[in-house]
Amino acid sequence: NAGVTQTPKFQVLKTGQSMTLQCAQDMNHNSMYWYRQDPGMGLRLIYYSASEGTTDKGEVPNGYNVSRLNKREFSLRLESAAPSQTSVYFCASSEGTSQIWGGTDTQYFGPGTRLTVL
Amino acid sequence: AQSVTQLDSQVPVFEEAPVELRCNYSSSVSVYLFWYVQYPNQGLQLLLKYLSGSTLVESINGFEAEFNKSQTSFHLRKPSVHISDTAEYFCAVSDVYTGGFKTIFGAGTRLFVKA
């Protein structure tokens, strides 16, 4: 099992450009998450999907959109990138169902995408 | 409001010395508590978690954490660290909010183990 995979690993964008970060998991998990990691701030939740076909905003959703394409895949789109979106982005998944953002579940993380917006 | 405070941003320690990484949280309800570890250039992985029962939980690589409800703390300890323990450690707290649960991560503590 590959676990949680993310593409690309690195990306440099110019202000105003758009891009989509891809995430896939092969553990048959119901919930998937997108986080950003910034120095001194830990992980902050951008969006999550508690089940196939549903998505909800997290703490910092502005400037992002998501798509839960199927049970395996959860993509994050930046429509018009800004320097404030320079960060490391992590996708995660967990077994949980229903409207549970975490709960008792262990979250399994991908290796991350390092994004720089110039 | 729920919050997680990791009191030390960096902890340098010599190999084979003991270490304690501190985590305090604020929540007025029952919580679930986690420690995740992030090795360089990797994603986070679960180290240990407290859900219920014994307040002392252990990981397979010698770390332990104790849930202290009165002090709202979940400090991580290891009696003797190795070079390979060098990583960033994140405390996370999950508690109930309207409609479900909410998990918040602390800012992280970088552990540097020196030879």
pLDDT of A59 above 70: yes
CA distance A118 to A82: 8
Residue in A closest to B43 by C-alpha: A111
Average pLDDT, chain B: 90
Confidence of residue A51 (pLDDT cuts 50, 70, 90): confident
CA distance B24 to A22: 34
Q: Express as a percent the part of chain B with pLDDT over 90.
A: 68
| Least Cα separation, residue B76 to chain A (angstroms) | 17
Give Dmax (Cα) for chain B. 49
pLDDT of B23 above 90: yes
Tell me whether residues A92 and B43 touch, CB distance under 8 A.
yes
Tell me whether residues B105 and A99 touch, CB distance under 8 A.
no
**pLDDT per residue as tens digits for the range A29-40:** 998 999 999 988
**pLDDT per residue as tens digits for the range B29-55:** 778 899 999 998 888 999 999 988 888
Q: What is the pLDDT of residue B62?
A: 94
Q: Does the CB of A117 have a partner CB in chain B at under 8 Å?
A: no
Given the structure tokens 């360089």, which residue do they identify?
A: B40
A contacts of B51 (beta carbons < 8 Å):
104
Q: Express as a percent the part of chain A with pLDDT over 90.
A: 70
pLDDT of A53 above 90: no
B106: exposed, middle or buried (Cβ count in 10 Å: 0-12, 13-18, 19+): buried
Q: What is the pLDDT of residue B1?
A: 47
Q: B57, B44, B64, B100: which is closest to A42 by C-alpha?
A: B44
pLDDT of B101 above 70: no
Confidence of residue A100 (pLDDT cuts 50, 70, 90): low
Please provide residue B83's backbone torsions phi and psi, each rounded to the nearest 5 degrees.
-55, -40
pLDDT of B102 above 80: no
A:B CB pairs within 8 Å: 64
pLDDT of B28 above 90: no
